[in-house]
Amino acid sequence: MAARGVHLDHGQRRDWLRLIRTENVGPRAFRGLVNRFGGAAAALEALPALARRGGGLIPPRIPTASEAEAEMEALARLGGRFIAIGEPDYPAPLREIDDAPPLLAVRGLPELLNRPVVGIVGSRDASGAGRTMTARLARGLGEAGWVVASGLARGIDTAAHEASLPTGTIAVIAGGHDKPYPRENQPPLERIAEVGAVLTEMPMGWEPRARDFPRRNRLVSGISLGVVVVEAAERSGSLITARLANEQGRLVFAVPGSPLDPRSGGANGLIKQGASLITSADDILEALAPLLGRSIPSALEEREYDTSAIVDPTENTRSRVLSLLGPTPLPVDDIIIMSGASVSDVQILLLELELAGRLERHPGGTVSML
Amino acid sequence: MAARGVHLDHGQRRDWLRLIRTENVGPRAFRGLVNRFGGAAAALEALPALARRGGGLIPPRIPTASEAEAEMEALARLGGRFIAIGEPDYPAPLREIDDAPPLLAVRGLPELLNRPVVGIVGSRDASGAGRTMTARLARGLGEAGWVVASGLARGIDTAAHEASLPTGTIAVIAGGHDKPYPRENQPPLERIAEVGAVLTEMPMGWEPRARDFPRRNRLVSGISLGVVVVEAAERSGSLITARLANEQGRLVFAVPGSPLDPRSGGANGLIKQGASLITSADDILEALAPLLGRSIPSALEEREYDTSAIVDPTENTRSRVLSLLGPTPLPVDDIIIMSGASVSDVQILLLELELAGRLERHPGGTVSML
């Protein structure tokens, strides 16, 4: 992996950070902008005009260069740095997902990110048996050379991190590096930041809210080739991770439990839905072995584009696309077909609306107007 | 079901009993004989000559008519009677299996045999949770109109019978009706014989040996449309039942448990191999619902045959077939192809060897010489 990919220089990395920290710019809009304008710097320049054309009354707030520098320095003071998608240290499986973060803020040992990773997630209110099982799985995976990723929560997550500390553990957090959650986990976090890795896509200073946890969960599965659910009640966050893992094409494993124990409801339910029942690390290793050594294409690279050939959509095209959009999510593919506009035109028009804060993207490639 | 099938008269039933109680006559040989000679009486007449031709030095021991009458009377004194394959009370799904017993000795309510049946089996050393789960499943199935079958062992079997007593329970035993096993189960057995049904294919007076239990297990699955394994260690009798159920085309369900509990090893292993993970009676009912109301063809009926057209195999054919047989099990189909003999000739020659005690039949349609 080390030989491939690009390296951003300091200025490019700062521009990437400014762009991804810009209001209304998520990973998909970021990719659309960089792909269209050939780089973050050009995208930042084009952004105010795009948002205006999208109907934004107030231009989106773009962090200044010094604000971005300040965030980079704050992360560096914690021993961390930003790794960009396309760079060698960026986790290869994460590049495959649709909404891969363009920048990861990483503390600890970034080399862990490119060893094969298994996610282990489960209930905060884990039973003793659940924690024992978790430790057994994490140790077995670690001894076989796999890194264990989890979410640093109480219960299963903590058991997974602790058991894999000697062999390699990655904590994915939902807030900024200076705002870990829950507070009680501050000591294990610092230990993981020394001998493992801690990563987040959220800005320094970000206090995680409820909606940030599912968003974080997509990264736990995204950096993993498979995800193991140990104990999970029905309707729990671990099941969200399992669903995201499945959508990302990752293998989903579940540890069975007695139907009389509500903490087994989620994992048993996953098995009913097709997840693999596992009872040992060997079961997981056997299923994952064929996935090792796959090469994964890069989703985005900073490079020189010839943007001179790109022509803006006509007013006619713009109004045809706009007339199709409403509060009901509609597949982008359908918008292209129904409008008769080019793929490129539809993409830029949607991007403009997104930057203006008027468009929402949903899973499965659908969009709606806010 | 009540309108179809044949009814044996008293003499026919006695002859069926004599034939199936004859040395070296198992269910497959019984079927071969009745199909070839048109009935049990004619088969009994032909039997000594067949065994002689098969190389038997001592003719197989055939019970006398009065011995058979005595067994029928002994069963009647316990309130039981023999039901023949093809008769309306014979369990319809059992007719489908390859080695269906021609006669079942049944005590209790034979009408239970033709309601839809689910087998529930599991460990003798069941946990409290396992017994609770079993009772919950058995009650749920019973309330939905299903009869529960099991093997009257301690643990899961007993829990299954007890919970389904009010709604319908069938105990399948490995010995004769006067030799229940284990002894401790005498009281539940008598209770089941009053309000449920108890069945066996073994003769009155038969003390069950180790090899009779797997044989019995094929009847538990054979009368059922599906079999549930609740708690089972690896390498347990319940797994034999599950394997037989699978071979018989029955659905196999397993209740998951913690991998830390060795009593869950068997059931978890079954799920890994493709059994359905279930956590409630509803899961089972949902899977079995599509199987209700299938019509099942009868495998064997007592009727008038024109046996005059049947010509015995030539000596040449006999020696060709014999030369192929040895201690290594060989598929009957291969014997037919390799010998160039007719299907009918090969069948009667194998039957002769079987009656002479020189041939053993194995699962999957293979035979070997003893």
Q: How far apart are CA A346 and CA A357, in angstroms?
A: 17
According to the model, what pLDDT value does residue B298 have? Answer: 47
Segment A255-287, tens digit of pLDDT? 999 999 999 999 999 999 999 999 999 999 999
What would the pLDDT profile of A192-206 be if each residue is shown by its tens digit?
999 999 999 999 999
pLDDT of residue A297: 47
Mean of per-residue pLDDT scores for chain A: 90
Would you state the structure tokens that stand for residue A25, as one six-digit string? 């710019």
Q: What is the pTM of this model?
A: 0.83
> Rounded to whole angstroms, how far apart are CA atoms B180 and B174?
8
Using left for φ > 0, alpha for ψ between -120 and 50, and beta otherwise, residue B145 falls in left
- From A258, A271, A276, residue closest to B258, measured CB to CB: A258
pLDDT at A2 over 50: no
What is the nearest CA distance from B276 to chain A, expressed in angstroms? 7
CB contact under 8 Å between B132 and A257, yes or no, is: no
Nearest Cβ partner of B258 from A129, A276, A283?
A129
| Close Cβ partners of B66 (under 8 Å, ≥ 6 residues apart) | none
Q: Ranked by mean pLDDT, which of A162-166, A180-184, B212-216 comes out on top? A: A162-166
Nearest Cα neighbor of A369 from A316, A313, A321 is A321
Q: Do B272 and A271 touch (CB under 8 A)?
A: no
Cα B211 to Cα B209: distance, rounded to the nearest angstrom: 6
Q: Which of B343, B346, B341 is nearest to B359 (CA)?
A: B346
DSSP state of A185: G
Interface residue of B229, B268, B283 to substitute, partner A, most A CBs within 10 Å: B268
pLDDT value for A3: 41
pLDDT in tens, A83-139: 999 899 999 999 999 899 999 999 999 999 989 999 999 999 999 999 999 999 999
Q: Is residue A70 predicted with pLDDT exceeding 80?
A: yes
Amino acid making up residue A311? V
Which residues, including other chains, have CB under 8 Å from residue A335's CB and lie 6 or more apart?
A321, A324, A325, A346, A350, A367
Asked whether B221 and B239 are in contact (CB, 8 A), the reply is no
* DSSP codes joined into one string, B106-132: EEE-GGGGGS-EEEEE--TT--HHHHH
3-state secondary structure of B200: strand
Distances (CA, A) of B128 to A60, B125, B133: 63, 10, 9
To the nearest whole Å, the CA of A266 is away from the closest chain B CA by 11
Neighbours of B225 (CB within 10 A): 22
Looking at residue A4, its pLDDT comes to 52
Residue A196 CA to chain centroid, in angstroms? 19
Instruction: Please tell me the distance from the alpha carbon of residue A204 to that of residue B228, in angstroms, as a whole number.
Output: 54
Q: What are the structure tokens assigned to A71, written together?
A: 């965030």
What's the rounded Cα separation, in Å, for the pair B347 and B37?
13
Q: List CB contacts of B237: < 8 A, sequence separation 6 or more.
A: B121, B213, B214, B217
> What residue spans of chain A are helical by DSSP H?
10-20, 27-37, 40-53, 65-77, 92-95, 128-143, 156-164, 186-195, 212-222, 237-247, 265-272, 281-288, 315-324, 332-339, 343-355
- B133 and A283 in contact by Cβ < 8 A? no
B257 and A256 in contact by Cβ < 8 A?
Answer: yes
- Identify the contact set of chain B against chain A, taking CB-CB distances under 8 A: 129, 132-133, 255-260, 264-265, 268, 271-272, 276-277, 279-280, 283
CA gap B184, B174 in Å, rounded: 15
Share of chain A above pLDDT 70, in %: 93
Q: What is the dihedral of CA A146, A152, A154, A159, to 10 degrees?
A: 20
Residues of B in contact with A279 (CB under 8 A): 259, 265, 268, 272
Nearest CA to A354 among A18, A13, A27?
A27
* Residues from chain A contacting residue B255 (CB–CB below 8 Å): 258-259
Tokens of B149: 């079958």
Could you say which DSSP state residue B97 is in?
S
CA distance A123 to A186: 19
**B132, B133, B256: residue with CB nearest A256:** B256
Q: Cα separation of A81 and A57, whole Å?
A: 35
Amino acid at A353: L
pLDDT at B4: 52
* Contact check, Cβ <8 Å, B259/A133: yes
Nearest one of A35, A38, A43, A36 to A17, comparing CA atoms: A43
- Whether residue B277 and residue A256 make contact (CB cut-off 8 A), yes or no, is yes
- In single-letter form, the type of residue at position B209 comes to R
pLDDT along chain B (370 residues), means of 10: 68 97 93 91 93 88 96 96 94 92 97 95 93 97 97 94 97 92 76 96 94 93 97 88 93 96 94 96 95 60 52 85 89 90 89 89 84
Give how far B138 is from chain A: nearest CA, Å: 15
Which residues, including other chains, have CB under 8 Å from residue B244's CB and lie 6 or more apart?
A: B214, B217, B218, B221, B222
Higher pLDDT, B185 or A64: A64
Q: Note the Cα A146 to chain centre separation in Å.
A: 20
Choose between A243 and B362: higher pLDDT. A243
pLDDT of the residue at B363: 75
Query: Alpha carbon of B147 to those of B24, B87, B109, B112, B246: distances in Å?
Result: 34, 20, 12, 7, 20
CB A21 within 8 A of CB A203: yes
What pLDDT sits at residue A71?
A: 97
Q: Which pLDDT belongs to residue A105?
A: 98
B236 token code pair: 């347990």
Longest dimension (CA), chain B: 65
CA of B256, closest CA in chain A: separation in Å? 6
Q: How far is A272 from chain B (nearest CA, A)?
A: 6
Question: Which long-range contacts (C-beta less than 8 Å, at least 24 apart) are formed by A2-6?
Answer: A2/A88, A3/A88, A4/A88, A4/A298, A5/A86, A5/A87, A5/A88, A5/A90, A5/A298, A5/A301, A6/A84, A6/A86, A6/A87, A6/A301, A6/A302, A6/A303
Spell out which residues of chain A touch residue B257, defining contact as CB-CB under 8 Å.
256-258
φ and ψ at residue B268, rounded to 5 degrees:
-60, -40
Q: Taken in order B58, B63, B66, B70, is the CA torsion positive or negative?
A: positive
Chain B CB contacts of A258 below 8 Å: 129, 133, 255-258, 264
CA distance B117 to B99: 19
> B256–A259: do the CB atoms touch at under 8 Å?
yes
Q: What confidence score (pLDDT) does residue A206 get?
A: 94
Higher-pLDDT residue of B110, A182: B110
Please judge whether A258 and B260 are an interchain contact, meaning their C-beta atoms are less than 8 angstroms apart: no
What is the pLDDT, as a whole number, of residue A34? 92
Q: Measure CA of the first residue to CA of the last residue in chain A; give whole Å.
A: 41
Dist CA B113 CA B220 (whole Å): 11
Tokens of A136: 């057994």
Adjacent-strand bridge partners of A252: A227
Tell me the nearest-neighbour CA distance from B270 into chain A, angstroms: 10
Nearest to A92 by CA among A4, A165, A179: A4
Residue with tokens 């839809």: B116
Instruction: For residue A257, give the nearest of B132, B256, B280 by CB distance.
Output: B256
CA distance A279 to chain B (A): 5
Partner residue facing B259 (CB), from A265, A268, A280:
A280
In degrees, rounded to 5, the angle at the alpha carbon of residue B241 between the alpha carbons of residues B208 and A261 is 120
